[in-house]
Amino acid sequence: MAERRGPRRAVRRPAPGLIAGRTAACALSLAVLGVSGFAWYTNEQLNGVSRSHALDQARKNAPKHLDSSVNILLIGLDSRKNMDGTDLPKEFVQDELHAGSSEIGGYNTNSLIVLHIPPSGKAQAVSIPRDDWVQTYNADGTEGKMHKVKEAYGYAKDAAEEKLRAKGVKGADLEQQSREAGRSATIQTVQKLLDIPIDHFAEVNLIGFYDIAKALEPIPVCLNKAVDDPIVSRVTDSKGNVIKPGGGTGLKLPAGVSQLNAADALSFVRQRHNLTNGDLDRTHRQQAFIASVEYKLKQQGVLGDLGKMQDLLNVVKKDVVIDDQWQILDFAQQAPNLTGGNVEFNTLPIDKFATIGGQEVNQVDPAKLRRIVKQLFGQPIDADPAATPAPTPTPAATEAPAADATVDVLNGSSVTGAAGDESKALVALGYRAGKVDTADTHPRTTTVKYGAGAQDAGRQIAAHYGVNATASSALAPGHVQVTLGADHTAATTPAGTGSEPAGPAPSATLQMQGPPVKAGGVPCVD
């Protein structure tokens, strides 16, 4: 996958195992501390945490809140730079973290998570896949170009840096001011993409992940199956061109629960090779890691102990930036919603993979993402007439649009009436109801097959169940067949489609990229 080091530099692919994503879990790790632990402290006790004005422009154009909920954007920045722009020590990045050199990577935001805290009930966290191809926005709020969502920060920072240099700004001031532009562009891009207001944000860089993992090690994680991700060396020719990209983290873990030190934790959250769904599975790893960190903090009594919390904050606060209007004490009343398993993590869906300008990207439908997010957050869903979805290639005449596909549901599970209930849930998502029947077999896991012309629908529905879709010549054209396996649990009617009062919809009824990751313990993932 092509990776950008900056708008004015040649596109060059660094070793896949060393590229973005190393800090993704850090943002949520510190967010747990921020929204649960920071609430114990006055602003004076948080001296050392950098404050930012990056929300100023975004607030001018933000949609209005309809309740007292709070949306926090968590940014994991893939930068090997300190806050003043100097490189992190080579021996730290290369030898300790095994994360390449300080020259690799730019200012990509490889973790973007919106944490929604409602007035009451379960908090929701949604991850935006880093390679989603979206309309970006500039630091001043004007419309930018189509880029990967992770690149909004870097392009805005580079543009600001050029103007600041011309004014004679340099050194740490140049770094800090240009980063403000990157933050502002990122916030506005996410705000426009999802059509929700961003009230606060927290940004963390590479070293922040390591600091918190080091302070808390060993950290428990759980895998559904054993993993072996050997390191493969990167090969270049005499001119530095990549002949064979490197990859791998060196991580080798058994199935079940393992206790990780800081270095292995870094490998756990950045592995994407030898995973069925690559980057998307890695996102679930990062979410599970954060759930495990929150669980350990609670089990050790850190969240309720001022002394322990202060010690931990002293370690990590140098690595975090938060907005200048985040009043921690006012926020304390919502902190209980974020502990004790009251957070659920989901990954927003993609429609398909594509190659644009030599880059592998995720194509998404912004209008669909807005509907999903508003339904998940319990917000009214309108026609969104101002929405301007990202352009997508016109499907071939033989390819049925996803919503027009007919879905047959067969019950191979032990849940009585599951096929009928699941068919209704899929219709609520926009698919056409097909045959509802009992399966001839009883598979261990739910399977999804598709006939001719229904490939997109098959893949979307498979993503909804967290499985892979396969083609089947036995199915009628335009049909998708879902066979519910032994792993299936009862479906839930989406909010607004039945007699239940409107409110946040259970994520099981929404099309997400794989199953949700739930806090409150040590969740197992692939």
Distance CA 277, CA 286 (A): 14
Residue 310 near residue 303, CB atoms below 8 Å: no
Q: Could you give the dihedral angle defined by the CA atoms of residues 43, 49, 50 and 52, in that order, rounded to the nearest 10 degrees?
A: -50
Q: pTM of the entire structure?
A: 0.69
Low-confidence ranges of the chain (pLDDT < 50): 1-44, 332, 383-401, 491-503, 508
Q: Which of 15, 26, 17, 19 is nearest to 207 (CA)?
A: 26
Pairing of strands 432-438, 406-411: parallel
The pLDDT assigned to 252 comes to: 93
The pLDDT assigned to 347 comes to: 93
What is the tens place of the pLDDT at every residue in 448-476? Answer: 999 998 888 887 787 777 677 889 999 99
- Give, as one character, the DSSP assignment of residue 415: S
The count of other CB atoms within 10 Å of the CB of residue 288 is 25
Cα-Cα-Cα-Cα dihedral sign, residues 15, 270, 131, 89: negative
CA angle 209, 221, 485 (to 5 degrees): 130
What is the tens place of the pLDDT at every residue in 144-155? Answer: 999 999 999 999
The pLDDT assigned to 45 comes to: 52
